Amino acid sequence: MLPLDIAFWVMAAVGVATALAVVMEKDIFRAALFLVVSFLVVAGIFVLLNAEFLAMVQVLVYVGAISILIIFAIMLTRNAHEGNPFNSFQLPALVLSTMMLAAIAFVAVNTEWHDWDQLGLQVLPGDSGEVFSATEQGIKNVFGNTTQVIARLLMRDFVLPMEAASVVLLAAVIGALALVRENEGEA
C-alpha cells in the first residue's frame, strides 16, 4: 500500500465517522465541531487529488466561515443544552440521501477518469518517492497549475454566472441589513 492510499483510507474513514457523528451526536455544539472535522477531512481529500486551490477554499470558506456561523447560531440558540432534537423527517431524509448517493455514484461510474498511463506515469513498486513526484508532475502536465486554470475558467469562460452569483450575494447582504436594521421611530 502506498502512503497516499493509507492517507486516503484514513481520511475517508474519519470523514464518514465524523459525518455520522454530526447526525447522531446529542449535543449540538459537539455536532458542529464534528462538522468542522468533517470539512477539514474533505479538504485533505482535495489535496490528495492535487486540487490544492479547492482544498484551501474549502478550509477558508467552510471551516473558517460557515462553521463559525453555525457555532455562532448555536450559541445564540435558547436551550441549546437540551440537545439535538429528533423529528419525524427520518424517512424523507433517508429517501433524499439515498437519491443523493445514487446521483454521485452514477456520476462517478459514468465519468471518464484519466488513466494513470495517460498522465505519463510509471508506477515503480517499492519506491514510494518516485510515485509521489511522478504523480505530481504527471498531473501538472495534464492540468497545469490548478489555481491558474480555475482563475481562467472563472474570469473568462464563466464570468457571467460568477458575476450573477456575486449580485445574488450582495442582494442577500442588503436584505440581511434591512431585516436587522432598527426601526428609527422605535429607537
Partner 1 sequence: MSALETLLLVLAIFGVLTGLSVIVLSLIWLERKFLGRMQMRMGPMHVGPFGLLQPVADAVKLMAKEDLLSSLVDRVVYWVAPLAVFVPTFMIWVTIPVARDLVIRNLDMGLFYIIAFSVLSIVGLVTAGWASSNKYAVLGGFRAAAQLVSYEIPLILAVLGVAMLAQSMNLEEVVNSQSTVVYALVQPLGLVIFFIAGLAELGRTPFDIHPAESEVVGGPFVEYSGAHWAVFFLAEYINTFAIAALTVLLFLGGWLFPGISGDVSALGVLVFLVKTYLVILVVFWIRGTYPRLRIDQLMSLGWKVLVPLALVNVVITASYMFYGWSAWSLSLMSLAILGAAIWGLSKRMRTAPTPEYTVKLYVPAPEASNAG
Q: In this complex, which beta carbon is closest to partner 1, that of residue 115 or of residue 186?
A: 186
Rounded CA gap, 31 and 33, in Å?
5
Q: In this complex, which beta carbon is closest to partner 1, that of residue 81 or of residue 92?
A: 81
The SS3 assignment for 28 reads helix
Q: Half-sphere exposure (CA, 13 Å, Cβ side) for 156?
A: 6
Type and span of the H or E element at 148: helix 146-152
Q: In this complex, which beta carbon is closest to partner 1, that of residue 15 or of residue 39?
A: 39
Rounded CA gap, 78 and 50, in Å?
43
155 neighbors 27 (Cβ within 8 angstroms): no
CB neighbour burial string for 73-91, b if at least 16 within 10 angstroms, e if fewer: eeeeeeeeeeeeeeeeeee
Site of interaction with partner 1 (CB under 8 A): 3, 27, 29-30, 33, 36, 52-53, 56-57, 59-60, 63-65, 67-68, 71-72, 75, 128-129, 132, 145, 147, 187
Q: In this complex, which beta carbon is closest to partner 1, that of residue 75 or of residue 104?
A: 75
